[in-house]
Structure 1
Amino acid sequence: MEEALRALLLASGGVTAHVQTRVNFGRHPQGEPLPALVLSTVSDREGLTLRGPDGLQQARVQIDCYAGSYGAAKQLSRAVRAVLHGHSGGGFQGVFLDGARDLREPGDDTGRPFRVSLDFLTIYSA
């Protein structure tokens, strides 16, 4: 799922216009420029029926949209939403936006990036 989700974002001209190839799971490499996307799997569970596994997985993925200004972070988040919300195909049964938050990284005001966090529910074939 992780590779397919990253590939889906990198295939979008609307997303890559902002981040080029800076779409990573776990963390943004130190020293790399912004804007960037950082993806984190928050939960991942197997779908079950009374007869056992149903062959589907459901995962919650947080996508953090980092940029040097609030406006740039917000524009990036809108590009991500446009690609993912309601998407199906390529192994995904469905990808749905579940929540969004506007944040600022802690610390003093100098050089702190702005962040918009998006939570997506993904249902995909195991």
Structure 2
Amino acid sequence: MEELIRALLLADSGVSGLVGTTVSYGQHPAGKPLPGVLLTVISDTGGYLVNKPGGLDQARIQVDCDALSYREAKQISRAVRAALSGHAGGGIKGVFHASTRDSHKGGSNEVSQPYRVSLDFHITYSI
């Protein structure tokens, strides 16, 4: 499922037009400048029938859209939401936008700290 979500974002011209190929799991690639999209699996649970595992799994993914300006982070988040929300195809049975949060990391060098818009998605899938 993780590979499918990343591939969907990379294949979307709205997302790739803003971040290129910088769509990663775990952490932003060292040496790559912002903007970028960071993916984190928050939860991933298997589906169950009465007495055995079922065919549909449920996951929640957080998508962090990082940029050096709030405007750019928001543009990326809108492109990500358009690419993922409501998607169904292949092993992915449905992607549903759950929430959005805006943040900015402050500190002693606040100008160089990224703006972040985080989106949570619930995903039903069968792989």
TM-score range, shorter chain: over 0.9
Q: CA deviation at 1:51?
A: 3.1
Distance (Å, rounded) in 1 between the aligned partners of 2:22 and 2:4: 15
CA drift at 1:32: 0.8
Deviation by residue 1:33-66 (Cα, 9 ceiling, x = unmatched): 1110000001000011213211111010000000
| Structure 1 segments unaligned to the other structure (5+ residues) | none
CA RMSD of aligned residues (A): 0.9
1:110 offset after TM fit, Å? 2.6
Structure 2 distance, partners of 1:106, 1:64, is 17
Distance 1:63 1:106 in 2: 20
Which residue in 2 is equivalent to 1:111? 112
Structure 2 counterpart of 1:80, which letter?
V
Greater Cα shift, 58-67 or 30-39:
30-39
Please report how far the alpha carbon of residue 6 of structure 1 lies from its aligned counterpart in structure 2 after TM superposition: 0.3
Q: How many residues align?
A: 126
Q: What is the TM-score with the length of structure 1 in the denominator? A: 0.96
**Structure 1 residue 120 corresponds to structure 2 residue 118:** no
Gaps of 5+ in 2: none
2:85 matches 1:85 = yes
Mapped partners of 1:110, 1:9: distance in 2:
28
Higher strand share: 1
Secondary structure in structure 2 of the residue aligned to 1:72: helix
Q: What is the TM-score with the length of structure 2 in the denominator?
A: 0.95
